[in-house]
Amino acid sequence: MTDPSAPSPPYVFAEISKDVARGRCPIAILNKTDVKDGDLSVKVKPVTGRQDRAGGLVFRYRDPDNYYLVRANALENSIVLYKVEDGKRTPLSSRGAPTSFGVTHPVPVNQWSVLKVQFRGPLFSVYFNHRRLFEVLDSTFREHGKVGLWTKADGVTYFDDFRIAGK
């Protein structure tokens, strides 16, 4: 769809459904690319949503029930890295802080922000607006996988400048 505020005008990729089902997590997967280690980034603009107002990056995607996800949530003002294994989404502990996961961080509504994850072997570094926020160690999914974008429930989210670097 068009958005005059798009970083690369005039078009954005948008999840616009307002389906309120909490368990609904639409994913858009780029089928032509498999990446094991790399950098993945996107400009994300959470627009509306009562249940959720978030956008995320999917990587090492095997199938709809097995992948990694880093998401920025404007309702919670949080950024968290998850693994989705056998359909169950589990937050991963930040490196050096085994009892906590992700960070509390402002995620502005109706503004563009950059969400990025670097993944090398079991080490993942999460960035927001070019600032590294935390690292995670996890070896659940070690092989190449697809990459993509993620939203949740009734969240209307726009994406632009989806970038992939890696092999």
* pLDDT, tens digit, 9 for 90 and up, residues 70-116: 999 999 999 999 999 999 999 999 887 666 778 999 999 999 999 99
CATH 2.60.120.560 fits 24-166, yes or no: yes
Quote the DSSP letter at residue 134. Answer: E
- 112-128 pLDDT, tens digit each: 999 999 999 999 999 99
CA distance 141 to 121: 9
pLDDT for residue 101? 79
